Amino acid sequence: MSLVLVTGGAGFIGANLLRQLDASHEVRVLDNLVRGSRELLPADRDIDLVVGDIRDPDAVARAVRGVDLVMHLAAFGSVVESVTDPVENFEINARGTLEMLRGAADAGVERFVFASTGGAIMGNQDPPIDESSLPWPISPYGASKLCGEAYLHAFAGSFGIRPVALRFANVYGPYSAHKKGVITRFIRAALAGSTFEIFGDGEASRDFLHVDDLCRGILAAADSDLDDEVLHLASEKETTINELAQLIIEIVGSDVEVVHHPKRTGEVERNFARADRARKVLGWTPQLSLREGMMNTVDWFRAHDRVSA
């Protein structure tokens, strides 16, 4: 049995990934429980939880001991909050990733899968983007993730780490009630018959990927022989915020008011990516349409989210 470490495993993506991870693996989670929660860990699985911060070398050393694979999900994930506090964003995303890589190298861990980002790392480039597109972030969040990717390449060259950086699309799905993104806000507002708040004219676009599809891509990358590779995991579909709002209104069947506010600093205008490389080297393609994935997510919020209930 291999021992897998998932940082940020008590968060949104981690909660879903742990439920897809094969039962033959032993699992350890490193999470400081600031944004995540013990309640998100699967109750039917024996998980070794290390409560600690990825910036703490001692906590990292405890977490990586005996590990065969690191899946590094822990992050400061908000573009808007990164503009408000770029220093903390750097500390968690850049220095935290550096500490995880140092710990992995010291413990002799070779396999390292890193959760990067597609849209924020690319900035306002004409979509669709892919692995050949030049990163040009316009937010501290995007810059910190690009810094993390650079450290991955450096540790591959200097310390024998075999990393894969996965550039995530805009991920949504179950276990995301604590998230502050547009899908959580819209679903809660629709279920409560409240107001949709849109920043800008609503024609900004995103690439929305259901977390089940994302986790299949993460696990495929972890099981692959890829070495020092960057891949986009994306739906390859461009959806405007106005289109997203209309879809959620249709699924929920509620009557809501839409209010527009000024565009927020640091957020890109258009974004979607090609996943040709992931399709070629991993055999990965997204399975859920946006409508199917959103219906699944709305059903989860109806059943589990106390705020919108």
Q: What is the pLDDT of residue 27?
A: 98
Give the domain ranges of the chain.
3-171+208-233, 179-206+238-272+289-304
For the chain, give the percent of residues with pLDDT over 70: 99
Q: What is the pLDDT of residue 60?
A: 98
Q: What is the pLDDT of residue 308?
A: 59
Q: What is the pLDDT of residue 306?
A: 72
* Architecture of the CATH domain 3-171+208-233: 3-Layer(aba) Sandwich (3.40)
Superfamily of domain 179-206+238-272+289-304: UDP-galactose 4-epimerase, domain 1 (3.90.25.10)
Q: 73, 94, 98: which is closest to 11 by C-alpha?
A: 73
How sure is the predictor about 4, in pLDDT bands with cuts at 50, 70 and 90?
very high
Query: How much is the mean pLDDT over the chain?
Result: 96
Which residues participate in catalysis according to the annotation? 141
Q: What is the pLDDT of residue 40?
A: 96
Q: And the tokens for 251? A: 């699924």
User: Is the fold of 3-171+208-233 the same as that of 179-206+238-272+289-304?
Assistant: no
Alpha helices in the chain (DSSP H): 12-20, 57-64, 79-84, 86-90, 96-106, 119-122, 140-159, 182-192, 211-223, 241-252, 276-282, 290-304
